């Protein structure tokens, strides 16, 4: 699995040890910073959305794929997915989500603070799953299949 190979490389580069479900700490015992996980999760989610866009739309013009993808890779979509995911999170994932959600919001995002806080929490979860538990990313695929009827 490509995700597993890439996450192994990233764990090594970041000094993180393989962790079991519920263990959100690095090899040094320090917790991975939620903002760093959110940064990674944002990129992972966008990549997954692009893959789903191609699965749904096929090989269209790049502009059409881009427009479809940016319609999905946005805070509103992430929060909709998060609402579906919340009941399925384990305790440690719930704590990580809340830590990331409660971080300060940049000045430019203050008018939609609640939306962006939840989105940041979602992205932190996706980043952690990518590094430590790629199988959990299948939950995102299940959500997309359910909501958007995307066949992959």
Determine the 3-state secondary structure of 25 from DSSP.
Answer: strand
R_g over Cα of the chain: 15
Query: How many residues comprise the chain?
Result: 152
Alpha-helical runs (H) found in 29-137:
34-57, 62-72, 75-85, 91-101, 113-132
Catalytic site includes residue 42: yes
7, 16, 42, 117: the catalytic one is: 42
Helix, strand, coil shares, percent, the chain, to 5: 75, 0, 25
Instruction: Give me the active site residues, please.
Output: 42
């Amino acid at each position: 699995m490509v995700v597993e190979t890439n996450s192994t490389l990233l764990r090594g580069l970041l000094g993180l040890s393989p962790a079991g479900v519920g263990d959100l700490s690095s090899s040094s015992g320090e917790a991975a910073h939620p903002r760093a996980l959110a940064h990674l999760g944002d990129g992972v989610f966008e990549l997954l959305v692009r893959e789903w866009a191609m699965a749904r739309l096929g090989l269209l013009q790049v502009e059409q794929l881009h427009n479809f993808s940016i319609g999905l890779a946005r805070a509103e979509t992430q929060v909709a997915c998060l609402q579906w995911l919340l009941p399925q999170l384990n305790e440690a994932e719930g704590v990580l989500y809340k830590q990331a959600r409660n971080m300060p919001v940049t000045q430019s995002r203050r008018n939609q603070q609640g939306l962006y806080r939840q989105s940041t929490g979602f992205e932190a979860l996706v980043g952690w799953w990518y590094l430590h538990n790629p199988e959990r990313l299948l939950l995102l695929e299940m959500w997309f299949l359910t909501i958007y009827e995307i066949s992959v």
